[in-house]
Amino acid sequence: MQTTPRGGPVAATPLLQVDGVTLAFGGVRALSGVSFDVAPGSITAVIGPNGAGKTSLFNTISGFYRPSSGHVRFKGQDITRVPTPQRARMGLGRSFQNIALFRGMTVLDNIKLGRHTHLKTNVIDALFYMGRARREEAALRADIEERIIDFLEIDHIRHAPVSALPYGLQKRVEMARALAMQPEILMLDEPVAGMNREETEDMARFILDVREEWGITVLMVEHDMGMVMDLSDHVVVLNFGQVIAQGAPATVQSDPEVIRAYLGSGDVGDLRRKLWAGAAVPLQEAV
């Protein structure tokens, strides 16, 4: 049986397929023929320099942008023209690069909003808070408090307003809201951006546990290369809106095109010469 780089089995059909996606804003092409697959139960990372098109790709997959050509398929179904709320109901849950929480609401209320797309309560039920509305609210709260809040270790802040929380905890709350959507694919846009080392280690542990304990497939955009290489089964590298490399972490990090995209040259000797040349100026100034 064929296996992933981390040793897990590869399913015959990818859970998510991005096929030749091109996205343009006027004369600016943000994505150009981007193609890759996300295997069920995997952690796939999308990396690349600033401006490479990573968030544009996430917005296209989740439905905020519609590509000018190409297709996005989820569980074999073409969802390229499916509205964003319907994609959420189908099993695509995401967080955002810039925290998108309701700052005046409590942690618990923010997380509960993630389940909104799945609720069956109508306007009349909600207005009088009877019958189905009451039962759904009780079941929702129990699930969130017993599973998600406990899992992410945020029980002590569940009644706190989001605006009073430090940045690292706000990122954790946003992940909790995405998990409340009951996703099959959890899309995380820079989950550890701006975090200190301890917060980054905690988030990395949660991402691994989401996959191992809950069986949720993870697709993430991230700049922390140490975390990407440690966690990922598959890495996709974007540069100027194009895929320049993809594969196992060890393969990608040694690819000359990837090195050139990040460091400006695929020649290690040339890179060393540039570093020494750059170090010589401050040294002379110090003398």
**Helix-strand-coil percent breakdown of the chain, rounded to 5?**
45, 20, 35
- Rounded distance, CA 165 to CA 223, Å? 24
Query: pTM of this prediction?
Result: 0.80
Query: pLDDT tens-digit profile of 76-134?
Result: 999 999 999 899 989 999 888 777 787 888 988 888 886 666 555 544 454 445 555 56
Token pair, residue 91, equals 């099993």
Match domain 1-91+183-254 to its CATH number in 3.40.50.2300, 3.40.720.10, 3.40.50.1820, 3.40.50.300. 3.40.50.300
Task: Tell me if residue 34 falls in helix, strand or coil.
Answer: strand
Query: pLDDT tens-digit profile of 169-204?
Result: 999 999 998 998 889 999 999 999 888 999 999 999
Question: Is pLDDT above 80 for 39?
Answer: yes
- Rounded distance, CA 68 to CA 23, Å? 5
Domain limits, CATH 3.40.50.300, in the chain: 1-91+183-254
Single out the residue of 148, 50, 48 nearest to residue 93, CA to CA.
148
